[in-house]
Amino acid sequence: MVKVAVIGGGLAGSEAVYRIAKEGIPVDLYEMRPSKMTPAHRTGYFSELVCSNSLGGKEITTGAGLLKKEMEMLGSLIVEVAKREAVPAGGALAVDRERFAKGITEIIESMDNVNVIREEVKEIPKGYDYIVIATGPLTSPDFSKSLMEITGEEYLYFYDAIAPTVDAETVDFSKGFWGDRYSKGEGDYFNCVLTQEEYERFYNALMEAEQVPLKDFERAVFFEGCLPIEEMARRGKETLLYGPMKPVGLIDPKTGKQPFAVVQLRKENKEGTLLSLVGFQTKLKYPEQKRVFRLIPALENATFVRLGSIHRNTFIQSHKLLEPTLILKKDKRILFAGQITGVEGYVASASTGILAGINVVRMVKGKQPVVPPKTTMLGGLVHYITEPKEELQPMNPNFALLPPLDKKVKDKQKRKLLKAQRSLSDMEEFTNLYL
Ligand SMILES: Cc1cc2nc3c(=O)[nH]c(=O)nc-3n(C[C@H](O)[C@H](O)[C@H](O)COP(=O)(O)OP(=O)(O)OC[C@H]3O[C@@H](n4cnc5c(N)ncnc54)[C@H](O)[C@@H]3O)c2cc1C
């Protein structure tokens, strides 16, 4: 008899267990709550939402909305229960958090093939044919230690210091130039140029902007060598000019001179549709980030697909460790799912749980594991986290992950709608072929 374990009964673990058990395969679900809590969870329910009760936009022209639609096509438990327990929230799908998590828990606990084991896993359990690891951003410290043994110490991160990312289509490339410092490299950076006056305006706004207060369990982060941009700025007006905004080694081809200050944008994916602000990790409040960073002339009209943050977050460097099928390259019995893979947020985490579940089922049945095409939001996300890159920073579902359309469409909303329609049709083909 085949033996399958899922570790972690959060958003991703719940989806994985549901999928595996529904296909008639017995599965052990390990969850440490309620006997051992994470610093953010409050109950013993599976899929507890630890903060906001919103699962993001409903429209398919939003990243989370399109992903939820695709998840429905794949038979998502989370989306089904969320719709049943929805509370009015305008364009967003928000839920009654208690009824939502309780509903998921009741369904999972009542499934014949699920054996719930309420204990903390400290080491990868032995004797299983397949194991899905879905212990989330607050994976227990003991288990993190044993994860390091299978991932390698340098590939397991304990916090994310995220710099904002913009949609390349919304950057004003006339206000800067492409080029690497000291012309080393292949011109992969776009340098947004600031004059002294523009720098001062930016600096003053940064100094006045409001920060998110740190949670107790997040305080240690700054001691680990990761300073938010506003903290650096607080050390003196010139500090940024010797740090992330330094112009040295860069000559603006338009003037033949070194600019006063620059903000470098680096490609986050092969296609260059996503650009991140190098060294701009920040704890500023989200609306403040948009207001302050839009003072950088090239970003005046930029769409921020992800804003900066510094959080406690356990995640692996999936681009080194995982196949897009979420299978660990060096041990094909092990799959990862949820935020620990480097996706971000409730919905993205749950979606990777479905994929891990689908692939366990396929392997148990002797079939090849699969991955949805890049044109779908789920496919775009898993390809993003597993594609080669210098370093993986967590990513949420957004339209810049999807390949451009065959022909150029100027109107942003129309472009999103066409991309969403393409995703849904490709996901339908995927489900017809593989589910
Ligand atoms: C403070 C905070 C606020 C957040 N706010 C938001 C928000 O507003 N919106 C949003 O979309 N996302 C938010 N997130 C992110 C969101 O919580 C995650 O994206 C999502 O919960 C990840 O799902 P998951 O299944 O990967 O992990 P989780 O949902 O965290 O599930 C992991 C499960 O594994 C269990 N576990 C951990 N270690 C072990 C072990 N060793 N043995 C057994 N069980 C174990 C945990 O108890 C937990 O139940 C927030 C995260 C944090 C920490």
Residues whose CB falls within 8 Å of the CB of residue 155, separated by 6 or more in sequence, listed in order: 316, 317, 320, 321
Q: Ligand 1, residues 14, 28, 30, 32: which to mutate, most atoms within 8 A of Cβ?
A: 32
Query: What does the pLDDT average to over 177-188?
Result: 86
Residue 37 has what DSSP assignment? -
User: Which residue's CA is the nearest one to ligand 1's atom 8?
Assistant: 52
Residues 156, 322 contacting (CB under 8 angstroms): no
Q: Probe ligand 1: pick from 135, 145, 341, max atoms within 8 Å of CB?
A: 135
Percent of the chain with pLDDT over 70: 97
Average pLDDT over residues 328-332: 97
C-beta 7 within 6 A of ligand 1:
yes
Q: Which of 50, 67, 382 best tests ligand 1's pocket when mutated (most atoms within 8 Å of CB)?
A: 50
For the chain, the domains span 4-162+311-434, 165-307
Q: Report which residue type is found at 243.
A: G
CA distance 319 to 383: 9
Q: Is the CB of 52 under 6 A from ligand 1?
A: yes
pLDDT, position 216: 62
The pLDDT of residue 15 is above 60: yes
- Using a cut of 0.75, tell me whether the model's pTM lies above it: yes
33, HSE (Cβ side, Cα atoms, 13 Å): 20
Q: Which residues lie closer than 8 Å to 289 by C-beta, 6 or more apart?
A: 164, 209, 282, 304, 307, 308
Encoded amino acid at 4, one letter: V
Cis peptide before 259 (omega within 30 of 0): no
Which residue puts its alpha carbon closest to atom 14 of ligand 1? 345
Alpha-carbon distance 347 to 76, whole Å? Answer: 10
The SS3 assignment for 257 reads strand
Closest Cα to residue 55, out of 379, 352, 345, 378?
345
Report the mean per-residue pLDDT for the chain: 94
The yes-or-no verdict on residue 362 having pLDDT over 70 is: yes
| Antiparallel, parallel or unpaired: β 165-167 and 304-306 | antiparallel
What is the per-residue pLDDT across 124-172, written as a single tens digit (0 to 9) for each?
Answer: 999 999 999 999 999 999 999 999 999 998 899 888 888 999 999 999 9
C-beta 380 within 6 A of ligand 1: no
* Spatial separation of the C-alpha atoms in residues 424 and 431, rounded to whole Å: 10
Q: What is the pLDDT of residues 80-113, one digit of tens each?
A: 999 999 998 888 999 999 999 999 999 999 999 9
Q: What is the CATH number of domain 4-162+311-434?
A: 3.50.50.60
What are the pLDDT digits (tens) for 369-393? Answer: 999 999 999 999 999 999 999 889 8
CATH T-level fold of 165-307: Elongation Factor Tu (Ef-tu); domain 3 (2.40.30)
Lookup: tokens for 316: 């692996």
Which residue's alpha carbon is at the smallest distance from atom 21 of ligand 1?
346
Residue 188 confidence (pLDDT) above 90: no
Residue 225 has pLDDT above 60, yes or no: no
Residue carrying the six token digits 């000559």 = 251
pLDDT digits (tens, 9 = 90+) for 242-284: 999 999 999 999 999 999 999 999 988 888 899 999 999 999 9
d(CA 301, CA 417): 21
Is the pLDDT assigned to residue 224 strictly greater than 50? Answer: no
* Strands (E) located in 62-134: 86-87, 92-95, 114-117, 130-133
- pLDDT for 290 equals 97
List the structure tokens of 49: 């939402």
pLDDT of residue 182: 87
End-to-end alpha carbon distance in the chain: 23
d(CA 381, CA 392): 12
